Amino acid sequence: MATMLTTKRRLCNNSGIREFWRRRMVDSIVGTNRSPKQLQQMRHYSARSSKKKMLQNDSITAAAVLGAAAVFTSCAFATDSLHLNAMAITDMEASASAKQHKQEEKNPPTKTFECDFVIVGYGNAGRSALRTLTSLNPKLKILVIDPRINVNYKSNNDRVMYVPFSRASALHHPTKTLYCTTLSSNDGDAREEVVKIKYAHSILISTGSRGSPPPMDLVDKTALSRVLELRGTAAGSIVTEHDQRITLSPEMVRNITFMAASDPNSNVCILGSGLEALELACAANNSSNRRKNGNGNNNGKIKKNSSSSNVSLLFGNAGPLSDRVPRYLSSAITKRLKLFGIDVRERSLVRYVSSDDNQKKNGDVGGLEIHASKSYDSLDTCRLEADLLIGMYVRM
C-alpha cells in the first residue's frame, strides 16, 4: 500500500491530488478508531513534517548542485593552471635549449665532463661540502671549479676532478648543464676554452661572501685607495669599473695588513666583530709586537700590556661574537683583546671616512680619519686616525 501511494505521489504534480493521497495514507496508517480531532492533529503534524522534509531535500539538492559546480569549476581552473604551468615550463625549457644551442654554436665546447655534483668555488664552504659528500658516498663523481686551482693541483680521490683556472660562465637548470671557461696553454700561448659539464643531481655555488664596508656615500673618493675588503673568494687584483675601490684576494689583504701593522708609525682599523675580524686583529697585533720587540722569533707569544697599540677593532655590536656566544664570554673576549693591546671600540658606527692630508713626523702623507659615533647616542662621537681600513661584516 505504501509503495503504491509513493508511486502515485511521484507521478502527481498537482498539490491538491498530493494532499488527497497524503490524507488517505495517514488514515490507512492511523486507522478509524481515533476521534476526528485526533485525526486532524495527526494530519497537521504529517503536513508540517512533509514540508520540512521537502525543504531539507531541496536545500540538500541545492547544496549538492552548488558543490558539484564548485568542484567542477575548481577542477577546470586547476586543469587550466596545470596546462598553463606545463606550457610555461615547456617554453622555459625550449628557450633554455635554444640559448644553449646558440651558445654552443658561438663558442663550441672543447671538452665535455659528466659528473654527479658540481662545486663552484673551493673556499671554506666548498671544501666542507666536498668532505661531506665524499664521506656520505665515496663513489660520487664530483667536479670542482675554481679560478685559483692550478694545473699542479692533485687530489687523493680519483672520483674528484678539478678544472684548473676555470670560471663558471653559464648555467641551464632545465638541461642540468654548466658552461665554464678555462685557460689552456698550447705551444706557450694561453687561450680560453669552453668546457661543457653535465651534472646528474645538483650544483653548489659557493663563491664566498663579500664584506660589508661603509657605503660609498660615507667614504671620501680620495680615501678609497686605503679602504680594503676581505672577500671570501677572489682571483687576483681587480679594479671595479663603477668606483676606485680595489679588490684583492684574501691572502693579499692579510699580507698588506700585517705589513701595515708591523710599521710602528702606522695604524690599522678593522671593521667587524666576527671570527675573521678577531683572528685578523690578533694576527696583526702579533706582528706589530714582534716588530716592536725587535725579535722575529718569539714562539708566537703575544706581549701583554702593550703601551701603544696600532690595531683598532671597531664594530656596532655589544661585544665581539655577541651573536654567537653568551654575553659574559663576549665581555671576557673584550678584556682579553684589550689586555693584548688591541683598541676595542664596541657599539660604534662609522659616520664618515675622509683622508688626512697632514704630514706625519716620518715624512709620509697622512692616512685616514674615521669619524664614528655610539649606536645608543649619536652625539657621542670620536675620531680615529688610521693608515688602512679593512672592511669586514659590520652592521652600519
What tens digit of pLDDT does each residue of 100-114 get?
Answer: 556 555 666 677 888
**CB contact at 8 A, 230 and 392:** yes
| In the predicted structure, residue 267 carries a pLDDT above the cut 60 | yes
**What number is the average pLDDT over the span 296-312?**
57
| pLDDT bracket for residue 67 (50, 70, 90) | very low
- Which of residues 71 and 338 earns the better pLDDT score? 338
| In the predicted structure, residue 234 carries a pLDDT above the cut 90 | no
Domain ranges of the chain: 36-73, 107-205, 216-391
What residues have CB less than 8 Å from 267, skipping those under 6 apart? 310, 311, 312, 367, 384, 385, 386, 387, 388
Phi, psi dihedral angles at 359 (to 5 degrees): -90, 135
Beta-ladder partners of 119: 144, 204
Range name among 51-55, 159-163, 171-175, 356-360 with the lowest pLDDT average: 51-55
pLDDT of residue 373: 93
pLDDT of residue 181: 79
Which residue type sits at 265? N
| In the predicted structure, residue 337 carries a pLDDT above the cut 60 | yes
**What number is the average pLDDT over the span 78-93?**
44
| pLDDT bracket for residue 177 (50, 70, 90) | confident
| In the predicted structure, residue 396 carries a pLDDT above the cut 50 | no
**CB contact at 8 A, 348 and 315:** yes
Which residue type sits at 263? D
| pLDDT bracket for residue 335 (50, 70, 90) | very high
pLDDT of residue 276: 85
Q: Do domains 107-205 and 216-391 have the same CATH topology?
A: yes
Q: Pairing state of beta strands 166-172 and 177-186?
A: antiparallel
**Strands of the 160-163 sheet, one edge to the other:** 160-163, 142-145, 111-120, 189-205, 177-186, 166-172
- What's the CA angle centered on 373, arms 369 and 378, to 5 degrees? 140
Q: What is the mean pLDDT of the chain?
A: 71
What tens digit of pLDDT does each residue of 277-287 get?
Answer: 899 999 999 88
Q: Is 77 exposed, middle or buried (0-12, 13-18, 19+ CB in 10 A)?
A: exposed
**CB contact at 8 A, 177 and 198:** yes
**What number is the average pLDDT over the span 133-141?**
87
For the 216-391 domain, the top CATH level (class) is alpha beta
| In the predicted structure, residue 370 carries a pLDDT above the cut 60 | yes
- Which of residues 157 and 361 earns the better pLDDT score? 157
For the 107-205 domain, the top CATH level (class) is alpha beta
pLDDT of residue 75: 46
| In the predicted structure, residue 353 carries a pLDDT above the cut 80 | yes
List, as one string, the DSSP characters of 196-252.
EEEEEEEEEE----------GGGB-GGGGGGEEE--SS--S-EE-SSSS-EE--HHH
pLDDT of residue 282: 92
Which residue type sits at 349? L
Residues of the chain with pLDDT > 70, as a percent, come to 53
Residues 136, 138, 139, 145, Cα dihedral to 10°: 90
| pLDDT bracket for residue 360 (50, 70, 90) | low
| pLDDT bracket for residue 270 (50, 70, 90) | very high
pLDDT of residue 66: 41
Whether the model clears a pTM of 0.75, i.e. scores above it, the answer is no
